A = this chain, B = another copy of it.
Amino acid sequence: MMDELKVFSGNAHKSLAEQIAKYLGIPLGRCEVFQFSNENTFVRILENVRQRDVFVVQPLSSPVNNNLVELLIMLDAFKRASAERITAVVPYYGYARTDKKDQPRVPITARLVADLLTVAGANRVLTVDLHAAQIQGFFNIPVDELTALYLLGDYFAQKTYKTEIVVVATDIGISKRARDLATRLNAPLAIMEKRRMGNKDQTETLNVIGDVEGKTAITVDDEIDTAGSLVGVVNTLVARGVTEVYSCCTHPILSGPAIQRIASCPLKELVVTDTVPVKDSKKLDKITVLPIAPLLGEAIHRIHTGLSIGAMFE
């Protein structure tokens, strides 16, 4: 076993870090992370971390670039403060959608972020539901990717529905994850396909591939941002004769008009986790937030003591 375990938090999601520390039965490590008047982020670790096993909790949630730079600076500070091992706990890995060059002369920011974390001092990464599992391979340090799928699946499994359920991938790209949930719920799968029509790519149609009529749909996403796509999916499903629509995602970004859109569309319930902070103002009645801290806390305990993470999902 490693030397003493310590958990620290940046400003992205302090309450999550506190719940994790509580799960582990230790106090949250003391540090200051703030900006000077010239906007320069500064970090001061307020307790000795020499040869300690340090975990830094910081999702790359809004404000994204501030939180990323904050994390990088914290990693540098812990490295220079002689921590024995530093694990970046990034429950939501931002920039994950920029993971390939699908048009000329664009960045692969998800790889860049992996390199930034590594060069800043991370020895390992702990994260939840990456947009693409290949992002693990952007790192050459060990990555433990947890999944909220069991959490979400168990929640849906214990509900009762008016009609038979069908799991719906809201996009071609999410179809694998949807299939995993469908398998877990022993339900069939349908897939939404967005297709640009005509010249100049101006209009899009949304096709439903598979049978949904007369069924209860559960849509799956890794993250929901402005909820524009989600609302389009819900409306299309309803138009196709779906009884009720439930949705779930791991990372509730919910930016801009998201809350208003969700509130006003015929969605029955949206189930999410709190890998990113969900402000009280966003907590609609129809939004259910499942706590992710126990999953992360258990994983940290296992990393620290050398127990298997895989065994958590058997």
A240 within 8 A of B: no
Q: Is the CB of B307 within 8 A of A48?
A: yes
A84's closest neighbor in chain B, by CB?
Answer: B306
A23 within 8 A of B: no
**Bound state CA distance, A306 and B52, in angstroms?**
8
- Describe A's contact surface by its main secondary structure: mixed
Q: Which 7 A-B pairs have the closest CB atoms?
A: A104-B310, A134-B134, A100-B133, A45-B105, A111-B137, A51-B306, A77-B107
Tally of this chain's copies: 6
Q: Is the CB of B183 within 8 A of A255?
A: no
A288 within 8 A of B: no
A108 within 8 A of B: yes
- Number of A residues near B (Cβ < 8 Å) is 101
Q: Is the CB of B134 within 8 A of A105?
A: no
A124 within 8 A of B: yes
> Per-position contact with B for A1-23: 1 when CB-CB < 8 Å, else 0?
11100000000000000000000
Of the candidates B74, B175, B188, B255, the one whose C-beta lies within 8 Å of that of A38 is B255
A265 within 8 A of B: no
Q: Is the CB of A110 within 8 A of B82?
A: no
A163 → chain B, closest Cβ, in Å? Answer: 19
- What residues of chain B lie closer than 8 Å to A253, measured between beta carbons? 38
Of the candidates B50, B104, B175, B308, the one whose C-beta lies within 8 Å of that of A175 is B175
Q: List 23 A–B pairs whose Cβ atoms lie within 8 Å, in order of A's numbering.
A: A1-B51, A39-B62, A39-B63, A40-B95, A44-B103, A48-B307, A50-B302, A65-B70, A68-B69, A76-B107, A79-B142, A80-B108, A80-B143, A82-B142, A99-B133, A100-B136, A104-B310, A108-B137, A115-B119, A115-B120, A137-B138, A183-B196, A188-B207
> Per-position contact with B for A34-68: 1 when CB-CB < 8 Å, else 0?
00111111111110111110000000001111101
**Bound state CA distance, A306 and B179, in angstroms?**
44
A145 within 8 A of B: yes
A268 within 8 A of B: no
A101's closest neighbor in chain B, by CB?
Answer: B136
Q: Is the CB of B207 within 8 A of A255?
A: no
> Per-position contact with B for A136-177: 1 when CB-CB < 8 Å, else 0?
111010111100000000000000000000000000110110
A91 within 8 A of B: no
- What residues of chain B lie closer than 8 Å to A82, measured between beta carbons? 124, 142, 144, 303
**Bound state CA distance, A83 and B99, in angstroms?**
20
Of the candidates B42, B66, B119, the one whose C-beta lies within 8 Å of that of A116 is B119
Task: Tell me which residues from 84 to 137 in chain A have a Cβ below 8 Å from any Cβ of chain B.
Answer: 94-95, 97-112, 115-116, 119-120, 124, 132-137
- What residues of chain B lie closer than 8 Å to A136, measured between beta carbons? 80, 100-101, 108
Of the candidates B3, B209, B309, the one whose C-beta lies within 8 Å of that of A209 is B209
**Bound state CA distance, A207 and B166, in angstroms?**
14
Q: Is the CB of B124 within 8 A of A120?
A: no
- What residues of chain B lie closer than 8 Å to A111, measured between beta carbons? 76, 137-138, 140
